[in-house]
Amino acid sequence: MVPRGVSESASNGRFGRRRADVDCIPTLPPSPFGSANMQQPPRVFLASTSPRRRKILENYCPVVFRTQNATPEEHPRSGNPDEVRRVVLANARQKCLDACQEIEKSGQWTEGVIVGADTLKTDGHRTYEKPRSMEEAVNFIKALAKPHQAITGVCLLNLATRQERCFTSVTTITLRPLDDAQIGALFAHMNPLDKAGAYNIDEGAEAVANVEGSRTGAQGLPLEQFEVELPLVC
């Protein structure tokens, strides 16, 4: 059941006191641009409409524009972590390819790096994507009160050379056991319907008991690996 005070109208983003997703980004590492390794930042195209990925990336390097992938995303056949890694990488790469076609069609740019990413959560048995209803979101929060993984696949594609770099990030998270009233309070300021597993580790910080691994990776773009991989396609 949906806890008292939580309405299906959340699917339209009407949460009253809900903070903007983009305000919930952790402190970011210094940008490498301007360092000896990278004097000029590349032109970056974000193949995603995720506000969390946008905010992470815009704090790190200039972003030209965001684009939505046209190809339907692939879904895992199971919650096996290897299968989930395969799917998030495939989805991230397809987002880059869709964006590449869109950029080329526009005729505005011939150089730059396209960034595609996809995130899913798994407990090893089943996969937790974005919930389809508030009731399913409640069930997700209760089911994930145990160690589980947020797996993010990232693809970087050089628009001019077509060189690619693809990688994954795995963060192990445990949620606190919450009752219906606590879940209702959580959803009063966090929209669960646009988040894999119905939560985000920063916006829903009060529900998180433990995080092991990249926090930005759990949010959709692992900056630690991104910083290493980006120069390799520029």
Alpha-carbon distance of 91 to 138, in angstroms, equals 26
* Distance, first Cα to last Cα, the chain: 50
**Exactly one of 118, 123, 179, 202 is catalytic; which is it?**
118
In which region does residue 116 sit, left (phi positive, over 0), alpha (psi from -120 to 50) or beta (all else)?
beta
Decide: helix, strand or coil at residue 6: coil
Which distant-in-sequence residues (6+ apart) come within 8 Å of 186 by Cβ? 141, 178, 199, 204, 206, 207
Rounded CA-CA distance 197/79 in Å is 13
Q: What is the C-alpha separation between 183 and 207, in angstroms, rounded?
A: 8
Q: Would residue 118 show up in a list of annotated catalytic residues for this protein?
A: yes
Using DSSP, state whether 56 is helix, strand or coil.
helix
> Any idea which residues carry the catalytic annotation?
118
